[in-house]
Amino acid sequence: MTVNAGARLDRLPISSFHRRILTLIAIGMFFDGYDVYVAASVLGATLHAGFSTLAQNAQFVSVTFIGMMLGSFLTGFLGDRFGRRFTYQANLIIFGLASIASAFAPNMSALILLRGVMGIGLGAELVAGYAAMTEFLPPQARGRWCGILNAVVVTSLPISALASAVLIPRFGWRIMFIIGGVGALIVWYLRKSMPESPRWLESVGHTDEAERMMLEIESEFAIQAPPLPAPAFAPPSTAANNFASLFGPQLFSRLFVGCTVLIVANTLIYGFVTWLPTFFVQQGLSIANSFKYSFLMSIGAPVGAAIASLSADSLGRKPAIITASALTILFGGIYPFIRDPRLLPLAGFLLVVCIYILVALLFAIYIPELFPTDVRMRALGLCNTLGRTATIFTPFLVVFLFRSHGVAGVVALMIALLLIQILAVHFFGLEPKLRRLEEMQ
């Protein structure tokens, strides 16, 4: 049998093989998310302790984005050139070691510099992990399982918030970087056993290796009853995609949608969610209450990802994205006017749920499906790069809007971007629901 990797993977029933792949990718991406989200609590603590200023916190966040921008861009080319395994292992070493070093930073300037290095690894993991997961899954389960992956990843938000609330008052903020760094290095060792994507191997002409990998995977299903069905016939693609083809007539509209929605998603996360502890401290809450409020709201992240996982394959990607965007606008418009301290966490929870429905749909499910295998990671890398580039300036804009108009000014920016996202997805977006990846060539 010639390789035909996509069709052969798509006929495999969901099994322990897929659960193993999910686990290996998810635990690495969990610590990636942890290192991203822990910044919110760390910055609140460094500001409260006088280790940093509000302006330095903005620099810290911006340098994170610069690193993640570089990491996203480089991993796109490296992943399509050297494979998925190479990139998701290399980034774990980078952000794991940089995270441990950050725990020993003597001043905020050193911490900002180390955060830039850490950001390179963080940006790479986001691109490599979702691309790899997408390429192992059949179309009928792709939305659900990629949503599950994102749900595992974003549990790092409430866990990092809870860990911060418990550990930072007792041990200081440095302990948070040690946890993230040690966890990443442990995962690096565990993921050495993860297979390379046969889809990628075939797409770059490594047919012998792709065939060996497929036979190894299929051997896990050899004794199942009933036996595997014959794979669908999928003639080899005659298109030779390269980086320039992303700007051609077939793929440019997909690239436009991908870049637009990831700019919006990054701004929602890093222009609002990660600033919550800082907002609360500046509004007069104690550091302990700030962490408690943030934790209650952050529980909405895995809830939102779970909803996305359940809705992506039933509603379709485009209707789910547009609906979640509209709900985010609704709750975002209400949130700044809540004055009752009992209702504030509830309103914030509902807003975070909607934001993370979008995060799961966009990062984990929709964008990785849009592009051919041989340029998938370059396309994802470029979309993520532009998303990160735009949000390099977000912290400074957030500080300006918060000082001038309070939380309402920040939320108004989010609403304007969400309206642009709705229009882009509605008019230019494709619908990948139940379509094989090879149909999206």
In a domain, 152, yes or no: yes
Domain count, the chain: 1
In a domain, 330, yes or no: yes
- Residue 279: per-residue pLDDT: 67
Q: Coil, helix or strand for 257?
A: helix
Q: Binning pLDDT at 50, 70 and 90, where does residue 408 land?
A: confident
- Both tokens assigned to 24: 């290996």
Reported pTM? 0.87
CA–CA separation, 399 vs 380, rounded Å?
Answer: 29
Q: Are 1 and 198 in contact (CB under 8 A)?
A: no
- Residue 225: per-residue pLDDT: 65
Q: What is the mean pLDDT of residues 114-141?
A: 92
Position 183 pLDDT exceeds 90? yes
In a domain, 309, yes or no: yes
Per residue in 145-167, pLDDT (tens digit) is 999 999 998 888 788 878 988 99
Q: What is the mean pLDDT of residues 265-279?
A: 77
In a domain, 214, yes or no: no
Per residue in 333-376, pLDDT (tens digit) is 887 777 777 787 788 889 889 999 999 999 999 999 999 999 99
Q: What is the mean pLDDT of residues 178-184?
A: 94
CATH number at residue 327: 1.20.1250.20
Nearest to 271 by CA among 405, 396, 112: 396
In a domain, 205, yes or no: yes
In a domain, 296, yes or no: yes
Position 420 pLDDT exceeds 90? yes
- Residue 306: per-residue pLDDT: 94
- Residue corresponding to tokens 């139940």: 434
C-alpha distances (whole Å) from 323 to each of 326, 422, 428 are 5, 9, 16
Position 393 pLDDT exceeds 90? no
- Between helix 84-102 and helix 54-82 the angle, nearest 10°, is 160
What domain range includes position 63? Answer: 5-209+244-440
Position 410 pLDDT exceeds 80? yes
In a domain, 236, yes or no: no
C-alpha distances (whole Å) from 169 to each of 52, 59, 180, 231, 341 are 17, 24, 18, 57, 23
Q: Are 358 and 325 in contact (CB under 8 A)?
A: yes
In a domain, 227, yes or no: no
- Both tokens assigned to 194: 């993860």
- Residue 160: per-residue pLDDT: 85
